[in-house]
Amino acid sequence: MLILENITWAVPGGEQILKGVDLVIPSGGLTVITGPNGGGKTSLAKIVAGIETADSGRILLDGEDLTSLSITERARKGVGYAFQQPVRFKGITVRDLLELAAGHALGEKELCDILGSVGLCTHDYIDREVSTGLSGGEIKRIEIASVLARSDTKLCIFDEPEAGIDLWSFAGLLEAFQKLKTKNSGSILIISHQERILNIADEIVVIADGKVKARGSRQEIMPTLLADEKAAHCPRGKEVY
């Protein structure tokens, strides 16, 4: 279980982004955080992973205080994080990245399971560099795979995993999250604007203007989100925010 207590954060020398976030993310479930752009979702995720440091507040994972731990220490405590904008590496292959994530050498079957779960064929990708030779969609899937490759996670965070994923592969992505939920007893936290991802959530949290604006089951939250969208005269589409 992830507990966030009164998290605040401001851009150094700039705007106050998070204004006191209190949140409990239960174990064994899939929570989706949504909300308008600039509301603080990615900042909050980065603070949980240790990439940014909160100005105040506490972060507890399964009762252990992570607040003062480094990124590395949090990762070793079981925090997995898939970046919204994946990083490219010259010279590091897909195999290298997945084996670093897993912490050990991976056999062909394991690699096939991991890459297959994000819709990629091992044979075609395993020796390719995680670099400019891969499209945005391909690199995004590999980023997601790098979290799925880890076996020790208590909390998996995916920041806008749908970005760059084509419509035809979306069902596979949803299936991968469902599978992860089944095999992983920890928490899954997804930041997303996508209705189809919101539809698989056990719980939806709406963050806007640096605060938790609403939280509840998808049955409770979705009608409000869709009504807000309509009221804002957004074109009817897949993004609810």
Partner 1 sequence: MNKITEKLLEVIADWTGSFSGAFNIREDGQCVGRQSSPFVQIESMAGGAGMEIRILPGCKGETVYIPACVTKSDVTDLVYNDFYVADGCDVTIVAGCGVHNDGEGEAKHNGIHRFFIGKGAHVLYKEKHVGIGEGSGAKRIDPITDIHLEEDAVMEMDTTQISGVDSTVRTTNANLAARAKLIIHERLMTDGDETAKTDFTVNMNGDDAGVDLISRSVAKDRSHQEYRSIIRGNTRCTGHSECDAILVGNGTVSAAPELFAGHIDAALIHEAAIGKIAGEQILKLQTLGLTEEEAEQKIIDGFLRG
- Give the interface with partner 1 as residue ranges (CB under 8 A): 49, 51, 70-72, 75-76, 79-81, 83, 86-87, 89-93, 96, 100-101, 103, 129, 146, 150
What's the rounded Cα separation, in Å, for the pair 119 and 171? 10
Identify the three-state secondary structure at position 69.
coil
Q: Is 75 helix (H, G, I), strand (E, B) or coil?
A: helix
- Our CB check for partner 1 shows the closer of 66 and 79 to be 79
Q: 10 Å Cβ neighbour count for 50? A: 22
The nearer residue to partner 1, 16 or 85, going by C-beta atoms, is: 85
Q: Minimum Å distance from CB 196 to partner 1?
A: 26
d(CA 50, CA 65): 12
Q: CB atoms < 10 A from the CB of 101, how many?
A: 20
Helix count and strand count (H, E) for the chain = 9, 10
For the bound state, the minimum distance from the C-beta of residue 48 to partner 1, rounded and expressed in Å, comes to 11
Q: What are phi and psi of 233, to 5 degrees?
A: 60, 35
Residue with Cβ nearer partner 1 (146 or 184)? 146
Cβ proximity to partner 1: between 72 and 182 the closer is 72
Residue nearer to partner 1 on the CB measure, 47 or 198: 47
**In the complex, minimum distance from the CB of residue 131 to partner 1, in angstroms, rounded to a whole number:** 8
